[in-house]
Structures are given as structure tokens and as C-alpha cells.
Amino acid sequence: MILPKVRDPRFITIRRGGVLTDSDHHLLALWAASCAEHVLHLFEAVRPEDPRPRAAIENARAWVRGEVKMMAARAAGGHAMG
């Protein structure tokens, strides 16, 4: 993953020195999942055998519900970008 040298503190959780609260982090994850799901059909029309983007969306939502750890959801997102 490529990150800028100076990260915006609004996107860094409080426990890591930023200002992002857990509830806002959850909202951000749900928003990202909704955005991705909105265009998922375009990807699946071309690559119907690739489950990674759908799995990443499901993992993001599962993280918000407390069903998976952050690292599992994050890994699923990384695999989807592959």
C-alpha cells in the first residue's frame, strides 16, 4: 500500500495519534463498502470468478459489526486491490 509521507490526522484513529473516533471509523468503513458495492457489478461482469472485491466488502461490514479483527478486514481489502 502506498501512503503519503504526511498522513491526514482525520484518517488516523485516536489511539494512533489522530483524531478519528471509533464510531467515525466505522462510518467511514461502511461508506467505503457502500461505494465499492455500488460499482461491484461492473467488476463482476468482467471477472465473475474473482471473489476478492465482494469478500473485502463483506469483511469491512463484518469488522464494523465486531465479527472480524481489523487486520483480517484490512487484508481482505489488500487482496481485493490485487
What's the rounded mean pLDDT across residues 1-29? 89
Helices (H), ranges, the chain:
22-46, 52-64, 70-81
Q: Is residue 9 part of a domain?
A: no
> Does any domain span residue 49?
yes
Q: Residue 57 class from Cβ within 10 Å (0-12 exposed, 13-18 middle, 19+ buried)?
A: buried
- Kindly tell me if the per-residue pLDDT of 20 is higher than 80: yes
Provide the mean pLDDT of the chain: 94
Residues 61-74: pLDDT tens digits?
999 999 999 999 99
Residue % of the chain over a pLDDT of 90: 83
Q: How far apart are CA 44 and CA 56, in angstroms?
A: 14
Residue 76 above 90 pLDDT? yes
Structurally, the chain folds into a number of domains equal to: 1
Q: Is 75's pLDDT higher than 80?
A: yes
Domain holding 70, by residue range, is 21-80
Whether 20 contacts 41, CB under 8 Å? no
Query: CA 77 to CA 36: how far, in whole Å?
Result: 11
pLDDT band at residue 39 using 50, 70 and 90 as cut-offs: very high
- Asked if residue 3 is part of any domain, the answer here is no
The Cα–Cα gap between 33 and 71 comes to 16
